[in-house]
Amino acid sequence: MDLQNAAARCAELGNITRLSIFRLLVRAGKTGLPVGEIQNRLGIPGSTLTHHLQRLAKVGLINQRRESRVLHCEPQMSAVLELAQYLLSECCSLQAEITAVKE
């Protein structure tokens, strides 16, 4: 993961509606939920929901798959784990550098 991808994922999760959608999908598990179920549970108008789902999919936080007429949205937990690892990858490394300079 690079800085640009990490920033894009953080930006999409920084929106209250998209974060609510993503958290709902995480609670549903890896099989996710149909779009209609997301709409019913969160009370988001269809066109607005479509917009938010497209943005989450664009940065790889969700996957969409069609089963007949039903569109399912699945959380991509590997993308979240990748983001968390990126954010924590240099944890405390600056502290060692500061300590070395003081000595």
- List the CATH number of the domain containing 53: 1.10.10.10
Instruction: Please provide the DSSP assignment of 32-82 as one string.
Output: -EEHHHHHHHHT--HHHHHHHHHHHHHTTSEEEEEETTEEEEEE-HHHHHH
**Residue 74 near residue 63 (C-beta atoms within 8 A):** yes
Determine the structural domain holding residue 65 and report its residue range: 3-102
Instruction: Give the pLDDT confidence of 62-99 residue by residue, as tens digits.
Output: 999 999 999 999 999 999 999 999 999 988 877 766 67
What's the whole-model pTM score?
Answer: 0.87
Residue appearing with tokens 């497209």: 54
Instruction: Give the pLDDT confidence of 41-60 residue by residue, as tens digits.
Output: 999 999 999 999 999 999 99
Domain total in the chain: 1
State how far the alpha carbon of 92 is from the alpha carbons of 56, 79, 97, 103, in Å: 30, 23, 9, 17
